[in-house]
A and B are shown apart, each in its own frame.
Chain A
Amino acid sequence: MEGLYAFSVGLLTACGVFLTLRGRSFPVVVGITLLSYAVNLFLFSSGRLKMDGAAVLGASESYADPLPQALVLTAIVIGFAMTAFVLILAMRSRADLGNDHVDGRLPPPPKDQKKC
């Protein structure tokens, strides 16, 4: 289970980083969302992965660490709000600046295209 879990967190992070480095604002927003998924899963695993463990004492034989779950909950809420904000900002910048590039202007076309 640990291997699979680590692999999915790693994959999500890699996709998130790749998309965040793109030039258009939509992939960047999606990339940030993926990064925040990855980070939530990662935080959750910092309390160790455990089967059949309730976060409440006495409810099951073994118990899981409740703190990372609380942290993840906070992180999800904050991440959600931030994603909503960046989405609105991206739409606003598309309207204000006339294009969806994160720099607010399109990069100049490559040189060899200019020649012909």
Chain B
Amino acid sequence: MLTQHLPILPIIFPMLMGALLLLPPLGTNLQRQRITALISGVLLVALAIWLLQVSHLEGTQLYFLGDWKPPFGILFVADRVSALLVLLTAVLALGAMLYATGGEDRVGMHFYPLFMFQITGINGAFLTGDLFNLFVFFEVLLIASYSLLIHGGGKHRTQAGMHYVILNLVGSALFLFALGIIYGTLGTLNMADMAVRVHGLEEDQLALTKAGGLLLLLVFSLKAALLPLHFWLPRTYSAASAPVAALFAIMTKVGIYSIYRVHTLAFGPEAGDVASLAQPWLWPFALLTLAIGTIGVLASHSLRVLAANLVIISVGTLLVAAALESTEAMTAALYYLVHSTLISGALFLLADAIGKQRGKPGDRLVRGRQLKQPVLLGSAFFLAALIAVGMPPFSGFVGKLMLLQAADTPATASWIWPAILISGLASIVALSRAGTTLFWRVSGDDPAAVTAPVLQMSGVWLLLLCSPLLVAFGGPVTEFMALAAEQLFDVQQFVDLILVSGAE
């Protein structure tokens, strides 16, 4: 009975918990809120693992709301990629919430409810099988993120929030324009149905459909922070409080996932006249994003901005992989996506923990006083830096290696290899410089009296230790990613599943 409703549970559950957390017995007491939020975080991880297992072993799970048969009505699709990303969100959110118990949740009202609503939106965006619902869930996650970004207040956050909100509102307007164009030409917004209807487009509809597809790419690129639409990212992410910034690490991935999904299904390699619509745009801009991220990493003046620029590098890397349009590249991309999300989340949390103990200079890369817990934070930072730059034997190395192997023709290799390797080198330089400044260039002042609570640090360790796990279980994980990537490219199977067997 419950299995039947499994695909919608990751959306319903955080939404209900968010509402419950607002109501009196929980809403008035922070301690109760913390406990409830952490328990629901653990439950969410369990739920996501269950969904992943079911969709892996028993095939893609479909859920039709109100039993309206496709292509009509609202549907949710939990295939391997979606389920994987839902699990990733749950783990990241649990880590961020563990960290938030250290006091970040006290600076403003309704931290945990907003967190839950944001998770609702993110999970919904990953699971939906309908383009208009993708828009709706984008808005759900955005409005929660607006409030979370300025949570706690302060000049910095209001300033960053203003840019972020206006930019995303314009993005939403463009999204709706794109949806209008696509509905006008294809007559459907169901992703599987779109994949069918792009074949046999009439001549006069072709240009409009292409315009709609490219507008969609533009909107997704704004969310994913692809150059030249990335300027909001470093400022926004470094202004947000640490747990929020950590959760935001998955938000760029929502954009990337949408590009992967829509531009393999409806505008993918097999889509007739509109085939590979995004590819000529993704190529140069993804490489340029990598380049600008590399420069940004070297120019960062604080650890948080550095982490934000590492996010930009990962976006570039992931979209280069999308531009390659092969199963191998997608396998590598999915692996790298999981790795980079977890490590950027961990870095944001760590930057805040380090900044707190340094007092006034915070996480800025200047001389400051000695940390109270140099060994604990130092070892965590060292591990995080090694994982982030992709040193063997950690997951960044495996992900990058797989991606470099996927670029097998001389033409692609000559672009991708230098871009990725140089960005890795720049990250090593920047992170080692940051580490030496933060931990070794200390003034004689006495260390501050604040220590990081154990529960708070467990959030950081949870995210950090996923990386060795990704390597230790590298074989099965890579096999799973390969199956997921295959499923992503198998348009025919997706269409058959939804339009033929779903309609029965």
Q: Report which A residues bind B (CB closer than 8 A).
A: 16, 20, 25, 28, 32, 35-36, 38-40, 42-43, 45-48, 67-68, 71, 74-75, 78-79, 81-82, 85-86, 89-90, 92-93, 96-97, 102-104
Contact = CB atoms under 8 A, between A and B. Distances in A.
B104 interface: no
B159 A97 contact: yes
Contacts of B172: 78-79, 82
Contact of A85 (B153, B163, B165, B180): B165
Contacts of A71: 132, 179, 183
23 contacts: A32-B166, A35-B170, A39-B173, A39-B177, A39-B180, A42-B176, A42-B177, A43-B176, A43-B179, A43-B180, A46-B181, A71-B183, A74-B136, A82-B169, A86-B166, A86-B169, A89-B158, A89-B165, A93-B161, A97-B155, A97-B158, A97-B159, A104-B162
Contact of A39 (B158, B176, B183): B176
Judged by DSSP, the binding face of B is helix
B136 A92 contact: no
- Complex A-B, nearest 10 residue pairs according to Cβ-Cβ distance, in ascending order: A104-B159, A46-B184, A46-B180, A39-B176, A43-B180, A35-B173, A46-B183, A96-B158, A93-B158, A42-B180
Interface residues on B, range: 20 to 34
Given A71-B183, A90-B162, A96-B158, A78 B136 contact: yes
Judged by DSSP, the binding face of A is helix
A99 to B, nearest CB: 11
B16 to A, nearest CB: 21
Interface of B: 132, 136, 139, 143, 146, 150, 153-155, 158-159, 161-163, 165-166, 169-170, 172-173, 176-177, 179-181, 183-184
Contacts of A89: 146, 150, 158, 161-162, 165
Contacts of A43: 176, 179-180, 183
Given A96-B158, A97-B159, A68 B146 contact: no
